[in-house]
A and B are shown apart, each in its own frame.
Chain A
Amino acid sequence: MARISYMEAARQALAEEMRRDPLVWAVGEDLGRGGVFGQYRGLVEEFGSARISDAPISEAAILGASVGAAMMGTRPVVEMRFSDFALCAVDELVNQAAKARFMFGGQTRVPMVVREPIGMWRSSAAQHSQSLESWYAHIPGLVVACPATPADNKGMLKSAIRCDDPVVYMEHKNLWPLEDEVPDGEHLVPFGVARTLREGRDVTIVSWSAQVHVCARAAETLAQHRIEAEVIDLRTLWPWDQETVLASVSRTGRLLIAHEAVQVGGFGAEIAAVTAEWLGAKVRRLGAPRAPIGYAPTVEDAVRVTEAATVAAVREMVGR
């Protein structure tokens, strides 16, 4: 165990996997100088520029070439910088990477990790702030991972690199400096297993990525109002841990799903629908209004799902 940051945890995970498997390599713009946020710092010195590879500003080629390289047996870790720029390579991800195995009758696999940092971060405005995880959850063939803690960013990235399916790996930019205890060495977090970070009998709150921390704070506040909230970090949207969520809601009878992404068509809708179908429980969602993200802090904050909004939604559901 060591106390390290969310960013450092991912850096460790990648370095360990690259040491373990010579077929793992990373490619993206500016990686030779540590990457745009510093997630790759020091790696080119250890692994060389063939395995920590720079790239032209060619998102379609970065992703598309990685599909080819993955089909030929290597394991690319593809750096897209911001999930917003990954949109320049949606064909390569959605039509090619996600479908190659199925279309070709199982003759190939596309073992790649597509890192797409998400989220609001320091007035980054409409083209550098989006949370697009639900788009990829909709696409058969893709795994979608949204780590919320340093330990998970290590254990989930390692699992993603070892996974034979293409994994859309969405780190939250606001979490880079977050520090916590992270297990040393072989720490693997399996996909589709949620983490219950707080138990409670009155309501289940499900979230993922940075929003988990907002929900955890909301649960503290709710406790002062004698409301015991169970908080679940879903970790992966596909596969998502229905068992844990349904078991929790069958105890609490109420479910709130909170996410930073736009509420309309967000992944909260899927969780709410499944829970309502199976349990007929009281469900509610909290997501952003269907508006682009603005630059001015007042405008940016207007679409943020806050702790206060979470507390209010739960109190309304519980009736106290």
Chain B
Amino acid sequence: MSETPRRNIDIARLRAHHLTMCRIRALEEAALRGLGDKVVLGAIHPSIGQEAVAAGVVGALRRDDILLSTHRGHGHTLAKGASSEAMLRELFGRVGGNCGGKGGSMHIADFEVGMLGANGVVGANIVIAAGAAHAIKLKGEDKVVCCIFGDGAINRGPFLEGLNWAAVFGLPVLFVCEDNGFAATTRTASMTAGGGPAVRARAIGLPAEEVDGNDVLAVEDTAQAMIAAIRAGGGPRFLHAKTYRLTGHTGVDTAPYRPADEVAARKREEPILRAADLLRGAGVAEAEIEADRIAAEAEMSAAYDAAIAAPFPGPEAAFLDVQDVGSPALGAF
């Protein structure tokens, strides 16, 4: 892991990340509450404990840069600038959700903030990201595409195909492997051969770095340097961020397949605590640190209330946005 020297901590920057991470945490907790209240309808995959990857990587992007995410994408999407209320509406399947209530947690997209979609199919976003970067290159723009995927995704074919494509065409894309140690109930290491994601990326010719994914400043510093090199025309780069999934795979998974003391130990290293410790060490008052959490919780609580008050889309939404040519209802009841 790259040990980033911390001579002078930029307190404002760290504060901003701390707030972003608190907002992500509070959003995930609101989503879990929604699951308990049976207003979240489908499966959710919480990113609790992984917030530094979202805050650090996405924080290093410009607003007009492009992001592709996964089934575990709430944090990435919020960090990119999506509205928390629209996200909760989507999770609740309501009008005013990012996708009009038609996608749900695993398909949240917000094209207005350059978020091209979560994905229900592991690894599918990797080749799509390469294509998005291909378009940017064709159009001569200076945007960068950031594609986040899990450690499990590197065992799918599109990983090889997408990285090779980006390298061959010299495309502006940052691939980020958000490694939380698990692919559903499986310890990813038990099903992954070789030296891991960065080694594979290097073998395809992409400069690759590993970073402590619970250290938000290290994540941001590393991502920022890579994004600058990509924007300067240097071609694709690869970032392997190591973190830990503190919850089960889904909101209902109690994760009985791993020991409680492992989780407890990892809880002590979680990114929000670490950022708060750094802030304290830099002289930021406890009340200010606490204010971030309180503000985040207030935001999500208000968003929750607004979202449950929103109506479901009408049945006609089933037939909207299917395709231009031909009626979807043709020949059906």
Contact = CB atoms under 8 A, between A and B. Distances in A.
Interface of A: 29-30, 32-33, 36, 54-60, 84-85, 88, 122-128, 263-264, 286-292, 294-303, 305, 309, 312-313
B328 A291 contact: yes
Nearest to A301: B315
B200 to A, nearest CB: 13
User: Which of A126, A127, A299 counts the most chain B CB atoms within 10 A?
Assistant: A299
A57 B42 contact: no
Given A54-B186, A55-B191, A123 B42 contact: yes
6 contacts: A29-B184, A58-B156, A88-B121, A128-B43, A289-B328, A295-B103
A127 to B, nearest CB: 4
B329 interface: yes
Given A127-B107, A295-B107, A296-B313, A58 B157 contact: yes
Given A264-B330, A264-B332, A289-B329, 17 more contacts: A33-B257, A57-B155, A57-B183, A58-B156, A84-B120, A122-B42, A122-B43, A125-B104, A127-B119, A291-B322, A291-B329, A295-B41, A295-B93, A298-B313, A301-B315, A305-B333, A309-B333
A292 B322 contact: yes
Contacts of B99: 295
Interface string B109-122: 00000000001111
A299 B156 contact: no
B185 A298 contact: no
Contacts of B318: 289, 291, 294, 299-300, 302-303
A296 B102 contact: yes
Interface of B: 41-43, 90, 93-94, 99, 101-104, 106-107, 119-123, 152-153, 155-157, 183-186, 190-192, 257, 312-319, 322, 326, 328-333
A302 B315 contact: yes
A218 to B, nearest CB: 13
Contacts of A299: 93, 101-102, 312-313, 315, 317-318
Contacts of B93: 123, 295-299
Given A33-B185, A291-B319, A299-B317, A88 B43 contact: no
A54 B191 contact: yes
A297 B319 contact: no
Contacts of A300: 318
A313 B333 CA distance: 9
Nearest to B333: A309
A298 B92 CA distance: 12
A263 B121 contact: no
B184 A296 contact: no
A57 B101 contact: no
B312 A296 contact: yes
A84 B121 contact: yes
Contacts of B43: 122, 124, 128
B63 to A, nearest CB: 27
A295 B42 contact: yes
Contacts of B94: 296
A264 B155 CA distance: 35
Contacts of A309: 333
A296 B186 CA distance: 30
Nearest to A269: B331
A151 B103 CA distance: 35
Contact of B103 (A29, A122, A125): A125
Contact of A126 (B107, B186, B257, B319): B107
A294 B184 contact: no
B322 A57 contact: no
Given A33-B185, A58-B156, A128 B333 contact: no
A298 B102 CA distance: 10
B322 A295 contact: no
A316 B108 CA distance: 41
B120 A125 contact: yes
Residue from A36, A263, A295, A299 having most chain B Cβ neighbours under 10 A: A295
B102 A295 contact: yes
Given A85-B121, A295-B93, A56 B103 contact: no
A36 B185 CA distance: 8
Contacts of B184: 29-30, 36
Contacts of A296: 41, 93-94, 101-102, 312-313, 317
For A127, A287, A291, A313, which residue has the most chain B Cβ atoms within 10 angstroms?
A291
Nearest to A36: B184
A125 B329 contact: no
Nearest to A89: B157
A34 B317 CA distance: 37
A88 B156 contact: yes
A288 B332 contact: yes
Contact of A30 (B106, B185, B312): B185
B168 to A, nearest CB: 21
A290 B41 contact: no
Contacts of A297: 41, 93, 312
Given A291-B319, A298-B315, A299-B318, A58 B104 contact: no
B13 to A, nearest CB: 35
Contacts of B312: 296-299
A85 B122 CA distance: 9
A316 to B, nearest CB: 11
Contacts of B101: 294-296, 299
A29 B333 CA distance: 38
Nearest to B326: A290
Q: Which of A263, A287, A294, A301 has the most CB of B within 10 A?
A: A294
A58 B191 CA distance: 10
A289 B319 contact: yes
Nearest to A59: B156
B332 A125 contact: no
A123 B42 CA distance: 5
Contact of B331 (A56, A127, A290): A290
A263 B186 contact: no
A123 B34 CA distance: 14
